[in-house]
Structure 1
């Protein structure tokens, strides 16, 4: 009989250790811990792992070989976005957050960790100014969680279950939100029109059992919602809350959702001084007005400014600490554990460095380069823009008119050192540009895509019996959008 396998790096794989742990929690097998995971998501086989290396140097060599397979967006031209973006991170951001008092700090209390609390208070204040809101939380794990929490807040406040989703949402985000709120809320989807919310269709679905209307701007495809105030008014007429998921990177030039009727604004701070890396550093924010009904539903920590026993001196500490799960434990409205506070400090440094004018300049650059990229790609015969909305940073192109598949374009241009975007479906490609994307970069993508389309068209023409001089065999170019100001 073969002895049971005990991993050299994981002592708890020893049979006696496993049995003792199962007995301690009253479980018959490890499978009981995964009862809530659907069967179709389970692997049902051992992981495909190499035989354990007993020598450390062999393990190091193996891991370094795996890591060497990664290629960062600094090594090739990238138009990838879809939730994690390649923005410039000033050197001072990394310098500050790598200081030992921030990098190693955990959950210090005011008497031992004044600096960290003050830094996060400054972050909250800068975010509140950018978003035209009054209260912003210490970052949650990511923007997905922040959005799920924002919707849960609306459900708890109203006692209602229905949430109307009025925008195109990133699939990964939708999956996380749906899983998070499924016990409390039911998500219903309203079709979009030309990339943005169908306000008429949305209004017809609103009723007094709707807890919230959820709008994403920019949407999954980078479309900016132009009728937020109308949506807010319609939602408020039936007592519903308007929850707006957004990216704060554009609000140096765009009108914040809070000034267009939004009750809760949420999203991710990855764009604000956090690296793209291999999936990004992420942190979620939730912002509300100075309204106790909303503030007391926020599960996250809030740091505020307070007087001390010493005249003229101030300190920084928790606001309404008794509403959090830190104080209420299992009686808390929503559990909050270790979050992304370090990334809040990074975003705070970034915002302080940029200032209002810097954020304005950045917003204008993003809008201009997005528009330039749209025009350049839409001029390629057979390539069309996905919609006529105003876009920030991302947009889709339809390649069907050029006889191209989105996955095929990715494979072909990747061989040329270009990551052209993320396939949305068979013929649609999501393209992203930032301030790191120069005009020359966009021109290169356009030229490579045009050449690929021409080669595909020539191959198709050579295999066809259609006479290319036949007036009926025309090539249709995508219309160019009229100039639109932000």
Structure 2
């Protein structure tokens, strides 16, 4: 979309309409120390559209993109091969321009897509039901915490140290306004997930236990033991999945006792886009459906007995009084959900299992190659396609040096946990079906050079 600036007369008319004498009055509520007193130094006042395009192209050329270099980044955003069919189909006009189906009787195609998406997510997660997606995994995680508090009427949530720190930060930011107490265990660079530590602090005031599966270090926690401990005191188990491909190889959380399963769907059908747009996945037990946030598409029959789809149990803030809403999230990531659904349809259940197995094999090959480097050790004994290695020094310096050599060599834990010096030597490595033997060799050579 091109930027079409307003004329001075247009601006004056708009200000007059809202009763403002000057545009600065619109920013009266912004703290003074957050306002710029002068333009940003070095930023040109104006330039032609063509000049801006050239300048931005030069800046973009400085990036080392996922498709042009050996790529081992993960930590919640994954590179997988996306079939060309996905992009082709989502650009059909009836999909690309579709918006929220407020009039279900004229949006049957959109509703059917959402219904199929929900079915896929519910089967993937092992839950009874799933909603029509949310913004992203981190906001879905917070919505699960809020939902558990409504169900249990308790306000204390226990969070594993293995939950991605960005998800933790999102929950903490929201909890500031709700009064919920979040007990977050520390993240430690050890082989064993913190299940025993979580179980030890669950009590009859606990609303829910939140655990990532696999966790941020690539470890696979014992969900069944956590579910038993939580249920024994009337708490719920919330499981967060940031890499849905992993569920092609390990058991679905719902089958292991999880009450609410949420996650990020980016890995299937949605490319790496500098952090978005992504889509949040959300499933739960059927008995909790009336407390589930977001949209829910249901199947029914019309007046002539034909199969039809409708939005149902719509307890969002746009449909009922805001104070009674289960969530203030007022849209779903529909196009990203469609991408996810098409990719899942192309894979099928057997295809997803084969994809996960191939990812695991590539990760095993990468781990084996790294383990023989002097001073490098692999933390994990069990993982799917992401694992942690421990370097003899700060991993951030090693990653920067590998980047200068044209290798995107993983995510340093010091970047995710800048205030935790005990994690500084940890390096998170992700492999996928896109990882070749040449990529692994380049990673090993680059790491050996920089160490």
Task: Give TM-score scaled by structure 2 length.
Answer: 0.88
- Structure 2 vs 1, CA of residues 47 and 28 (structure 1 numbering), >3 Å: closer, same or farther? closer
- Structure 2 vs 1, CA of residues 388 and 65 (structure 1 numbering), >3 Å: closer, same or farther? closer
* Residue number in structure 1 paired with 2:318: 326
Matches within 5 A, 1:87-236: 87-108=80-101, 109-184=103-178, 185-191=180-186, 194-225=190-221, 227-236=222-231
CA contact (8 A) 1:8 1:52 kept: no
* Residue number in structure 2 paired with 1:284: 280
- Describe the superposition over 1:40-89 as per-residue Cα deviations: whole angstroms up to 9, x where unpaired: xx475554562333533333333333333333211111111122111110
- TM-superposed deviation, 1:435: 1.1
Match status 1:259 vs 2:255: yes
CA contact (8 A) 1:126 1:348 kept: yes
- TM-superposed deviation, 1:31: 4.8
- Structure 2 vs 1, CA of residues 262 and 196 (structure 1 numbering), >3 Å: closer, same or farther? farther
Tell me the distance in 2 between the aligned counterparts of 1:132 and 1:310.
34
- Describe the superposition over 1:404-452 as per-residue Cα deviations: whole angstroms up to 9, x where unpaired: 4322222222122101112212322221111111233112211322233
Task: Give TM-score scaled by structure 1 length.
Answer: 0.82
Tell me the distance in 2 between the aligned counterparts of 1:357 and 1:101.
30
Range moving further from structure 2, 234-243 or 157-166: 157-166
- Describe the superposition over 1:149-186 as per-residue Cα deviations: whole angstroms up to 9, x where unpaired: 01110112222111111232222222112112333311
Matches within 5 A, 1:400-419: 400=392, 404-419=393-408
- Describe the superposition over 1:134-154 as per-residue Cα deviations: whole angstroms up to 9, x where unpaired: 211111111111111011101
- Describe the superposition over 1:80-123 as per-residue Cα deviations: whole angstroms up to 9, x where unpaired: 11221111101111111111101111123222221111111111
* Residue number in structure 2 paired with 1:450: 448
Aligned partner of residue 110 in structure 2, secondary structure = helix
* Residue number in structure 1 paired with 2:418: none
Tell me the distance in 2 between the aligned counterparts of 1:126 and 1:198.
30
- Structure 2 vs 1, CA of residues 32 and 295 (structure 1 numbering), >3 Å: closer, same or farther? farther
Tell me the distance in 1 between the aligned counterparts of 2:182 and 2:6.
42
Match status 1:356 vs 2:352: no
CA contact (8 A) 2:218 2:380 kept: no
Tell me the distance in 2 between the aligned counterparts of 1:396 and 1:264.
27
CA contact (8 A) 1:125 1:136 kept: yes
* Residue number in structure 2 paired with 1:300: 294
* Residue number in structure 2 paired with 1:463: none
- Structure 2 vs 1, CA of residues 15 and 116 (structure 1 numbering), >3 Å: closer, same or farther? closer
CA contact (8 A) 1:161 1:211 kept: yes
- Describe the superposition over 1:332-373 as per-residue Cα deviations: whole angstroms up to 9, x where unpaired: 232122321111111111111101110110111122222222
* Residue number in structure 1 paired with 2:433: 435
Tell me the distance in 1 between the aligned counterparts of 2:16 and 2:149.
41
Tell me the distance in 1 between the aligned counterparts of 2:8 and 2:247.
50
Aligned partner of residue 78 in structure 1, secondary structure = coil
CA contact (8 A) 1:143 1:283 kept: yes
CA contact (8 A) 1:8 1:54 kept: no
- 1:422 pairs, out of 411, 435, 441, with 411
CA contact (8 A) 1:151 1:212 kept: yes
CA contact (8 A) 2:70 2:442 kept: no
Aligned partner of residue 338 in structure 1, secondary structure = coil
CA contact (8 A) 1:191 1:197 kept: no
Unpaired runs of 5+ in structure 2? 415-423
RMSD: 2.7
Match status 1:274 vs 2:250: no
CA contact (8 A) 1:218 1:224 kept: yes
Aligned partner of residue 320 in structure 2, secondary structure = helix
Aligned partner of residue 367 in structure 1, secondary structure = helix
